Amino acid sequence: MMSPCFIMQTATEDILLKVTNVCALCYSDIHIGDTIHYDTQKYHYLCQACQEKQCGQMNGECESIEDEESGLFC
C-alpha cells in the first residue's frame, strides 16, 4: 500500500545498527532485507504490517482519522 505518509525502504545493516532493529509499534524484530516504512510524521520505522494498519487509519494528508464510535466509554 503506497502512501505519501511513509517512505518504503529495505532494511540495511546500517539502518539496523544506527537507527533501529525493531518496529516502533509492535516491537517485532526487523531483519536485513525486510521491507520497512519510515513514518514521515512521527519519524520512526514501522514493519509492513504496522504500516498497513496505520495507513488505513489516516487520510490523504497523513492525519489520523478518529473513529466516531470508539472511545473510552464505548
Alpha carbon distance 27, 47 (integer Å): 9
**Which parts of 1-74 are beta strand (E)?**
6-10, 35-39, 44-47
Tally of domains in the chain: 1
Residue 67 falls inside a structural domain: no
Residue 70 falls inside a structural domain: no
Question: Residue 26's pLDDT is what?
Answer: 95
Residue 65 falls inside a structural domain: no
Count of C-beta atoms within a 10 Å radius of residue 48: 15
Taking phi over 0 as left and psi of -120 to 50 as alpha, with beta for the rest, 4 belongs to: alpha
Query: Which residue range(s) make up the domain with 47?
Result: 6-56
Question: Residue 5's pLDDT is what?
Answer: 86
pLDDT at 2 over 90: no
Q: Which residue has the higher pLDDT, 61 or 20?
A: 20
pLDDT digits (tens, 9 = 90+) for 11-50: 999 999 999 899 999 999 999 999 999 999 899 999 999 9
CB neighbours of 65 closer than 8 A, spacing ≥ 6? 57, 58, 59
pLDDT category, 62, cuts 50, 70, 90?
A: confident
